[in-house]
Amino acid sequence: MLLASLNPATVAAGADIGDAVRIDGAVLSRSDLVGAATSVAERIGGARQVAVLATPTAATVLAVTGCLIAGVPFVPVPADVGVAERAHILTDSGAQAWLGESPADLGGLPHVPVRLHARSWHRYAEPAPSSTAMVMYTSGTTGLPKGVPISRRAIAAQIDALVQAWQWTPDDTLVHGLPLFHVHGLILGLLGSLRVGNRFVHTGKPTPAGYAAAGGSLYFGVPTVWSRVVADAGAATALASARLLVSGSAPLPVPVFTQLTELTGRPPVERYGSTESLITLSTRADGERRPGWVGLPLNGVQTRLVHEDGSIAPHDGETIGSLHLKAPTVFEGYLNRPDATAEAFDADGWYRTGDAAVIGGDDMHRIVGRESVDLIKSGGFRVGAGEVETVLLGHPGVEEVAVVGLPDTDLGQRIVAFVVGDANPEDLITFVAEQLSVHKRPREVRLVESLPRNAMGKVVKKELMK
């Protein structure tokens, strides 16, 4: 059963938790979740697909859970998505109704509200593992978002692999304040908790104070969250009693890793994944946590590095290659996009992640970044933007930084650093040249007030390259 902790027979036999889920001021027991979500399932049974406005509310939790009980695929829609993008998601997915919370503009679809206090104890047969649980849309940085069907089998395999890697148990209390329309917050956070059977606390906004007050043993955050936590020493030290601090969705700056370790005594766990593959690499609860590295392949995951000419790159900790992988969590293809699907896989079924990486002799992985924006080809050299960013973040005058390659008639691409902070640009260029090979220094440093970010805190480098 995908949501193992919500097995009606087990809950009825007394395996209940009065505060299984805490979100937006609501507290739901396992019995509440089973009864109210089954009531939702009865109202949508037979639907082909529904849209869920993925606000962090009890209604969203019950909408998602009800869909999984009924076997109706759902489409988590960001609450702040633009009108044109939302219309594309609804049309492309074929959603037939809004379930739970709804936007002001329904886009021509009917609305099915979630009744928080309704209860049903009807028993549903478990849908086939191969069936689609949800269709999650990618961020669409290079065009309109693409729909990624995610199967029930992939979700179960994902959570079970992380249970092993993170020593995740029903005794944990998992805390995060992340969106419920991405893998990190929805699949790992909410569905992971409903499968494992641990308590789940959503803090609303992921503030340092909210994290400190939650009393969790397992915390999820993106780098922006952890940067704010280490800036609040009181909140950071309050997390010292936690068992595991997990960072993902973007690279964690090494200085933040170091500060978080010093303040909490807990070196953070880093992991890597995508909407298409879910999480495939992670450092382990009982293993080495190396700053700047995202760890080892999870159970069932195979990886390889590929040169531009198609040859296999060595695992020497230095050579950059295109990261390809196979895993039980990898999707089978984009919705309605056979062209994009064909581009995503090679002839042998390896998924081309689009990320550049380095693999060490010990199988530890380091992500250099997106091949399209983070792998800079300058003067005949291949330079990873992340390596330059890490060095710049070590300068006391740099608060945030993003490094990109901009077109250059002489070099092909010139390395340009966008810096938030108070430092002399020429000093920063010299600083990098002293720390790294001279060809890796920025040719230009631009001081900016802020960096463009998406809802998950990732820097949108495409905006800097315009």
Strand pairing category for 26-28 and 21-23: antiparallel
Lowest-confidence pick of 8-12, 370-374, 421-425 = 370-374
Q: Do domains 4-150 and 375-464 have the same CATH topology?
A: no
Q: What is the pLDDT of residue 377?
A: 84
At 36-95, the pLDDT tens digits run: 999 999 999 889 999 999 999 999 999 999 999 999 999 999 988 888 889 999 999 999
Do 210 and 203 meet the contact criterion of CB atoms below 8 Å apart? yes
| Residue among 25, 402, 23, 298 at smallest CA distance from 185 | 23
Mean pLDDT in residue range 13-39: 94
Confidence of residue 142 (pLDDT cuts 50, 70, 90): low
At 290-317, the pLDDT tens digits run: 998 999 999 999 999 999 899 999 999 9
Percent of the chain with pLDDT over 70: 98
- For the full predicted model, state whether its pTM sits above 0.85: yes
Do 183 and 162 meet the contact criterion of CB atoms below 8 Å apart? no
Where does 319-411 show beta strands of DSSP type E?
321-326, 351-359, 365-370, 375-378, 381-384, 398-408
Residue by residue, DSSP assigns 147-185 as EEEEEHHHHHHHHHHHHHHHT--TT-EEEE---TTSIII
Structural domain 375-464, CATH architecture: 2-Layer Sandwich (3.30)
At 182-236, the pLDDT tens digits run: 999 999 999 999 999 999 999 999 999 999 999 999 999 998 899 999 999 999 9
Q: What is the CATH number of domain 4-150?
A: 3.40.50.12780
Confidence of residue 338 (pLDDT cuts 50, 70, 90): very high
At 234-272, the pLDDT tens digits run: 999 999 999 999 999 888 888 899 999 999 999 999 999
Residue boundaries of the structural domains of the chain: 4-150, 191-370, 375-464
CA distance linking residue 355 with residue 17, whole number of Å: 41
Do 121 and 38 meet the contact criterion of CB atoms below 8 Å apart? yes
Q: What is the CATH number of domain 191-370?
A: 3.40.50.12780
Q: What is the pLDDT of residue 408?
A: 86
